[in-house]
Amino acid sequence: MSFEKGDVVVLHDEHSEFDGEEGEITQVMETMFGDPNYTIVFEEGQEAGIPEDQLDLVEEADDEDDDDEE
């Protein structure tokens, strides 16, 4: 799954001080192998060079859409 700038994600990296925290992607970069790496800003700082396999997208609950379908 690819992520875009502005997406809110959860970081899963046991070696990071931000492990398990939600942050916003502020930059998407490609490695020399064509794989995306991300810069993520958290409340207490930022991490750069995060591969997508360490991220999960935070799904925003949108109750308004559910009400419209009824």
Q: What is the pLDDT of residues 1-33, one digit of tens each?
A: 789 999 999 999 999 999 999 999 999 999 999
Q: What is the pLDDT of residue 68?
A: 53
Q: What global pTM score does this model have?
A: 0.79
Burial (CB < 10 A; 0-12, 13-18, 19+), residue 50, is buried
| pLDDT digits 0-9 by tens, 39-50 | 999 999 999 999
Q: What is the pLDDT of residue 60?
A: 73
CB contact set of 5 (below 8 Å; sequence gap of 6+): 25, 26, 27, 28
